[in-house]
Amino acid sequence: MNDLATGALRAGPALRIDADRLWRSLMDLAQIGATPLGGVRRITLTDLDRQGRDCVVRWFEAAGLAVRVDAIGNIFGRRAGRDPGRAPVVAGSHIDTQPSGGKFDGNYGVLAGLEVVRTLDERGIRTEAPLEVAVWTNEEGTRFTPVMMGSGVFAGVFPLEHALARTDVEGKTVGDELRRIGYAGSAPTGTPVGAYFEAHIEQGPILEDTGNTIGVVTGALGQRWYDVTVTGMNAHAGPTPMALRRDALLAAAQLVVEVNRIAHGEAPHGRGTVGYMQVAPNSRNVVPGEVRFAVDFRHATDAGLEAMERALRAACARVGAACRVTVALEEVVYFPPCRFDADCVAAVRAGAAALAHRHMEIVSGAGHDAVYVARVAPTAMIFVPCKGGISHNEIEDALPAHLAAGCDVLLHAMLARAGVAA
Amino acid sequence: MNDLATGALRAGPALRIDADRLWRSLMDLAQIGATPLGGVRRITLTDLDRQGRDCVVRWFEAAGLAVRVDAIGNIFGRRAGRDPGRAPVVAGSHIDTQPSGGKFDGNYGVLAGLEVVRTLDERGIRTEAPLEVAVWTNEEGTRFTPVMMGSGVFAGVFPLEHALARTDVEGKTVGDELRRIGYAGSAPTGTPVGAYFEAHIEQGPILEDTGNTIGVVTGALGQRWYDVTVTGMNAHAGPTPMALRRDALLAAAQLVVEVNRIAHGEAPHGRGTVGYMQVAPNSRNVVPGEVRFAVDFRHATDAGLEAMERALRAACARVGAACRVTVALEEVVYFPPCRFDADCVAAVRAGAAALAHRHMEIVSGAGHDAVYVARVAPTAMIFVPCKGGISHNEIEDALPAHLAAGCDVLLHAMLARAGVAA
């Protein structure tokens, strides 16, 4: 460390985080809830989640951060800035995982934020604005819905009381489980944020496919999810001639093809997925009388989502009539498309350029805490590649060099927004 | 009764069974295992099956039939003929039901045979050949496979020892359960049959759709069943662009459409059904990585079945390549097409014509005990309409007048084959 240099000089483009320390932290946290296949199962508000939170809080405190917890269990570690009147520049994500999750989804964004703080501490660099590292409660939504619960409450998307009253399959509430694990905090939620950056693995194949190291995330796709119920008539597969059938699965199959056709017609940002289907009675020699399936449409614009829905409704009517079945379509989830803050996105782009990482603009296909935080603060995200685009899977993997590159970009983007004190 | 008339005169075209007595017997037997929706749940070799068998045996004995039980639990009630050297003319079917079965499937064929005997007794008509009423064990195959077990053993389709060793989901064997309910008999199986007639509800909509009362069943469709496994790659529905997906459900959906297209191209006897499908991981925002489904192909000829299989294999290759997934096709069941005996079919047709019932030739789409018995004896079947073509369902229904008409045809067909003693 050069005590004589100004912070600004020390914080110049040569400044890098400690790639090994970041990797070790990721691997250490991944021990809590580690699965045999190398993944992590650390479901929100379980004992393992408590252990993970306790570990991160110890690390925060060891790095000199002032830790506070709000009423929905979001954890904030604050590093003072020169100007205590400025709203903090925040890095964050989540540490809860899918039931068969990986080491990087969420955890990377939290520990990258911590690594930024550790790096600044090591170099004796003070920022003008305070910095914070945030850990949002229950991003995954696998035990309690809605997903992105902590950031949703923080951003006022839904009320705290609603979130606290949500129950898991055993009837336990979020509020009780927060108290049980010691993370029902008393700090205020929804406090001002000067800027928010979230580093995350891409969870898709685009960066890998295009050979880029950094995704400059300009926003997130809007989502419309539907439940579809096709009702025909059970019939014995042998004695029932083809022409007299009312086959719910044949109709559903045609609609699966339509969902994909509609999404292909909205390239590059349109997505259409049927991921869930239940056939009744589901017996090999019975023409199915009922099929339920889910449609997940995503698009960068509301107009695109609306066009996809119109096309789906038309397909349901056409296929229903042709197959002599009824098709009921119900929207169950809507997330509007999100555009991140132009200045924050520019800070990410400038960081990637200054560090000479191959980068591209990308739109997040998945929801993230950043999408909710973006409703109340200037926000952007940084994507790094993950192997094969695979996520929500124990074999989720990412290269240390890519994770370090994303963390370096985070560091420089945060410094650009927070300002370096002389 | 006219004691002076010969049997042949008394057995002339005016002879009718007692429609009310047949209906009462059907309703009485349906009390054993009755379900709230008016159906029957009397699964093979359960206590309820024993109660059903005991009831039928009591009725057989009350009608003067000599009852014997073979080693696979098939029950035969024998009415002596004038010529004890002739092989019996047999009517039969089964009394086990689907888990949510109806009152008529199987039960009708047994009780129609009993009603023929009761009618002949009442009228003092003796036949040249003996008559028998058969109750075949485990036609439905819902607890123990293979289906049509009793008639299969009787006809030598598979060995007795194989059938006795089959287990249910709890590990209980057919042999132990037969002993437990008292129906492990010692009478020889596979005894000679002069002719076999089985009356049955159609289990399809064709007779109702065409306004016919009697189906003169000329044979049964051959069947080829397949298990299909489509393997792609799980992927997050949001971040994964359409073009980079390997969506197993999209491929499976295209194949469901193909199965139906192939069957429509083999009208009127081709059938193609996907009744079973399981999607993995079956989560609404995950592109499915694996789909398993079953294909049920039926056709009146082996050449037709083979053409359908060729078309399916070609579709699997084409769709697999287009969707970048692997498709594995495994045949799991094969029943050859069956043509019933021309003389027995003629006896059914003549009976329907003599009784002036609207009738048509029909090919059974479903398997029946008659299909196995046809391998060792001249055989035909008589179909009567069932409401909406619905079967294997608690709401299965049939009109008393149609059931009586079918039983009248059975009576005259049996008399034609057995001969009436003077």
Q: Is A93 on the interface with B (CB under 8 A)?
A: no
Determine contact, residues B144/B100, Cβ cutoff 8 Å. no
pLDDT in tens, B7-58: 666 778 889 999 999 999 999 999 999 999 999 999 999 999 999 999 999 9
A239: chain B residues, CB-CB within 8 Å: 202-206, 364-366, 389, 391
Interface of B with A in 103-132 (CB under 8 A): none
- At B227, which helix (H) or strand (E)? strand B222-231
Question: What mean pLDDT is predicted for residues B296-312?
Answer: 97
pLDDT band for position B225 (50/70/90)? very high
Work out the percent of chain A whose per-residue pLDDT is above 90. Answer: 92
Residue-averaged pLDDT of chain B:
95
How much is the pLDDT for A310? 98
Question: Above 90 in pLDDT, residue B1?
Answer: no
Question: What mean pLDDT is predicted for residues A128-139?
Answer: 98
pTM, whole model, 2 decimals?
0.89
pLDDT band for position A1 (50/70/90)? very low
A364: chain B residues, CB-CB within 8 Å: 238-239
Interface of B with A in 359-378 (CB under 8 A): 364-367
Question: What mean pLDDT is predicted for residues B212-239?
Answer: 96
CA-to-CA dists, residue B300 to A116, B307, B343, angstroms: 73, 12, 20
Question: Above 70 in pLDDT, residue A329?
Answer: yes
Per the DSSP assignment, residues forming a β-bridge with A123 are: none
Nearest to B282 among A221, A260, A276 (CB): A276
pLDDT band for position A2 (50/70/90)? very low
Nearest to A365 among B239, B277, B367 (CB): B239
For residue A365, what is the DSSP state? S
Interface of B with A in 221-240 (CB under 8 A): 221, 223, 225, 234-240
Q: Does domain A7-220+337-418 match CATH 3.40.50.1100? A: no
How much is the pLDDT for B2? 39
Question: Above 60 in pLDDT, residue A67?
Answer: yes
pLDDT in tens, B153-211: 999 999 999 999 999 999 999 999 999 999 999 999 999 999 999 999 999 999 999 99
Work out the percent of chain B whose per-residue pLDDT is above 90. Answer: 91
A37: chain B residues, CB-CB within 8 Å: none
B241: chain A residues, CB-CB within 8 Å: 204-206, 267-268, 271, 365
Buried b / exposed e along A357-392 (16+ C-beta atoms within 10 A): bebbebbbbbbbbbbbbbebbbbbbbbbbbbebbbb
How much is the pLDDT for A6? 61
Angle between helices B107-123 and B19-29 (to 10 degrees): 140
| Alpha-carbon gap, residue A253 to B114, rounded angstroms | 46
With an 8 Å Cβ cutoff, are A239 and B364 in contact?
Answer: yes
- Closest approach of A21 to chain B, Cα-based (Å): 29
pLDDT in tens, A88-101: 999 999 999 998 89
How much is the pLDDT for A100? 86
Question: Above 90 in pLDDT, residue A142?
Answer: no
A242: chain B residues, CB-CB within 8 Å: 260, 263-264, 267, 270-272
CA atoms within 13 A on the CB side of A36: 0
pLDDT band for position B100 (50/70/90)? confident
Q: How far apart are the first and last CA of chain A?
A: 15
- At A273, which helix (H) or strand (E)? strand A271-273
Domain coordinates of chain B in residue numbers?
7-220+337-418, 222-335
Question: Above 50 in pLDDT, residue A150?
Answer: yes
Nearest to B277 among A225, A233, A279 (CB): A279
Residue of A nearest to B261 (CA): A242
| Alpha-carbon gap, residue B359 to A48, rounded angstroms | 71
> What is the three-class DSSP state of B319?
helix
| Alpha-carbon gap, residue A40 to A105, rounded angstroms | 10
Residue with tokens 């006219």: B2
Say what the ipTM of the complex is: 0.89
Q: Is B206 on the interface with A (CB under 8 A)?
A: yes
Sequence-distant (≥ 6) Cβ neighbours of residue B127 within 8 angstroms: B7, B79, B81, B82, B89, B120, B414, B415, B418, B419, B420, B421
Residue of A nearest to B364 (CA): A239
How much is the pLDDT for B7? 65
Residue of A nearest to B203 (CA): A239
| Range with the poorest average pLDDT among A200-209, A315-324, B388-397 | B388-397
How much is the pLDDT for A5? 46
For residue B34, what is the DSSP state? B
Q: Which of B142, B273, B293, B384 to mutate to test the interface with A (most CBs of A within 10 A)?
A: B273
Interface of B with A in 380-399 (CB under 8 A): 388-393
With an 8 Å Cβ cutoff, are A242 and B256 in contact?
Answer: no
| Range with the poorest average pLDDT among A326-330, A418-422, B154-158 | A418-422
With an 8 Å Cβ cutoff, are A287 and B276 in contact?
Answer: no
| Alpha-carbon gap, residue A235 to B390, rounded angstroms | 6
The CATH classification number of B222-335 equals 3.30.70.360
How much is the pLDDT for B391? 86
Answer yes or no: same fold for A7-220+337-418 and A222-335.
no
Structure tokens at B418: 């057995």
Nearest to B276 among A247, A263, A284 (CB): A284
pLDDT band for position A8 (50/70/90)? low
Question: Above 70 in pLDDT, residue B4?
Answer: no
pLDDT band for position B258 (50/70/90)? very high
How much is the pLDDT for B10? 76
How much is the pLDDT for A7? 65
Question: Above 90 in pLDDT, residue B105?
Answer: yes
- Tally Cβ neighbours within 10 Å of residue B368: 28
Q: Which of B100, B249, B298 to mutate to test the interface with A (most CBs of A within 10 A)?
A: B249
